[in-house]
Structure 1
Amino acid sequence: MESVMEGPSMSNRTSRLIVPIIVISGVAVTASATYVQQLPDAQRPVEPAAPLSTATLAPSEESLGLVRVSYQLTRVPGHARNQVAVWIEDEEGNYVRTLFATSFTANGGYDRRPESLPQWRATSGWESASEEEIRSASRPAQNSGPQTLYWDGTDRTGAPMRPGRYVYRVEANVLWEKRVLFTGAIELGEEPSTSVADVAYLPEAARDEPVMVADVRASFTPDEPLSPDDVTTWTRGS
C-alpha cells in the first residue's frame, strides 16, 4: 500500500510522500519515506478498466506467500529503448497487477510513443489505471545488472489471490516498435515452485537488436511475507 501526503504547489508540481509496495533490486531502500516531487500526472482518456481476475480469496484470509521475478537487464544506449513492464495474469489471461513499469511509459509516454509496451498497456487497461496503481508501479528505468521484483500474491486492489497457476510477463521495448516478450507460469500453493520464462521476438527482427533482457525466471515461497526492509520508499521520473 502507499501513503500519500499532498504538499504545497510549486510551479505546477505536486509534492508527495510515497511509500509503494513493489520492490526493485539494486535501488537504495530506507526504513522511512522520502519526500519527492513529481510533475502532475498526464491527462488520459477515460476508458473501461481491464477486467480483474475473480480468483481472489476472502478478505479475511492472508496471501499465499512471496513470488520473486528476476531477470538480467542490460541498458542499451540511444533513444526509443529501455522501456520495461512486468505484470501478472491469472491462468485465463485476466489481469492481476503490475509489478513494475518504467515511469516514462507508465505516466503517459504511450501517448507520444504508442509502440512502447503495447501488450502490457492493452492487458492492464493502463489508460484507465487509478492514480494509486500508477504510483505503486511507476519507477525509473533500471540500471544494468540483475533485477528482482517481488509479488506478494495480491491483485491490483490488494486482495489476496487463490492457489493456482499464474502467468508472469516481462515486456521490453528494445528499439521503437521492436520488443521482446518473456512469458512464464508459476504455481502458488502449499509447496515451493520455480520456473523459467520463454521469449518471443516482436517482430522477428527484434532478434537482431542488442540483448536488453535475459534469463527471466520466477520462484514462489509459501507463507513468506513481503519484508518491510525490502520496500522501496522513493521514486522519480526516468
Structure 2
Amino acid sequence: MSERTSRLIVPMVVITGVATTATAAYLAYRPEPPPASPAGLTWSAPVTASLGVVCIDYQLNRLPRLASNQLAIWVEDAQGRYVRTLFATSFTANGGFERRPMSLPQWRRASGWESATDTEVKAASRPAQESGRQSVYWDTTDRSGQPVPPGTYTYRVEGNVVWEKRVLFTGTVEVGETPHASQPRVEFLPADTGQEPALVADIRASFSPGERLPAGAVTTFTRGS
C-alpha cells in the first residue's frame, strides 16, 4: 500500500453540518453557514488580488451501493489547460484510483493527479458528501495560489455513479468585471449510465466579481445542506 493510500488526511475545508478538522492557523470547522448576503458571501478581507469568487452549486444524491459516490470538480482555462481541483472525494484523491482505475479517470488525466503535491491533495480531498444541496467555491486562483487572468474558464464535474459508469458535466463561466452565471451540459459514460439513479444533478455556476474568501482561509470549501 502506498503512502498516499494509507495516511490520515486532515482536509483544510469548511463543511457545515459535519464536524471537520483543519491544520495550520485557520480553524476550518464552522457549525452553521454564515449569513447570506445578496452575493451569497459575507466576507471582505482579501487574501490575494484575485478577480472574485465562483460558486458551483449542485444537488448531491448519495447512493447506497458499492463502487460509487466518487466526485471531482475542477477548472480548466479556455485552452483546456488544467487550473486547479476544487473538490475530490478522499478515496480517489488519496490513491484509491490505484485499486479502482475506473474511478474519475478524466479528472485524473486532466490534473495529472498521480504527481499532485501533498498540499494539493490536502486542499482538495474530503469525505464523500451527504445527500443535499452542496456548494463549492473557487477564489479564482490557480493550483499555486496565483490569481488567474480575466477570461472564460471551464468547470467540470465528474461523478463515478457505479463501477465503470460515470457522469460528466461541463460548463463555462466568465471571470472578469461583471457577474456571470451558467449551467453545464451533461454526458453519460457510457450512454446507459443515464438509466442509473442520479448521483449529482441541477448544477449551477456563478461568478461574483470583487468577492473574497476569509483572510487565512483555504481557497476552496464546501457548504452542505
Would the TM-score normalized by the shorter structure come out above 0.5? Answer: yes
Q: TM-score, normalised by structure 1?
A: 0.75
**Equivalence map 1:1-238=2 (5 Å):** 20=12, 23-24=14-15, 26-28=17-19, 33=27, 62-227=49-214
Deviations 1:141-174 (A, max 9, x none): 0000001000000000001000000000000000
Cα distance in 1 between the residues matched to 2:216 and 2:117: 26
Alpha-carbon offset, residue 116 of structure 1 = 0.1
The alignment covers a number of residue pairs equal to 195
Alpha-carbon offset, residue 230 of structure 1 = 7.9
Question: Quick one: which amino acid aligns to residue 187 of structure 2?
Answer: A
Q: Does the CA-based 8 Å contact 1:88-1:169 persist in structure 2?
A: yes
Deviating above 4 A after TM superposition, structure 1's stretches of 4 or more consecutive aligned residues are: 22-32, 228-232
Supply the RMSD in Å over aligned alpha carbons: 2.8
Alpha-carbon offset, residue 78 of structure 1 = 1.1
Point out the structure with max Rg over C-alpha: 1
Alpha-carbon offset, residue 227 of structure 1 = 3.0
Quick one: structure 1 residues 149 and 27, their matched pair in 2 at CA, closer, same or farther if it must change by over 3 Å? farther
Q: Does the CA-based 8 Å contact 1:29-1:231 persist in structure 2?
A: no
Question: Quick one: which amino acid aligns to residue 109 of structure 1?
Answer: G
Sequence identity of aligned pairs in percent? 59
Alpha-carbon offset, residue 217 of structure 1 = 1.2
Quick one: structure 1 residues 19 and 117, their matched pair in 2 at CA, closer, same or farther if it must change by over 3 Å? closer
Cα distance in 1 between the residues matched to 2:122 and 2:20: 17
Structure 1 unaligned segments of length 5 or more: list them: 1-11, 36-60
Question: Quick one: which amino acid aligns to residue 190 of structure 1?
Answer: E
Q: Does the CA-based 8 Å contact 1:72-1:145 persist in structure 2?
A: yes
Q: Does the CA-based 8 Å contact 1:73-1:144 persist in structure 2?
A: yes
Give the SS at the match of 1:207: helix
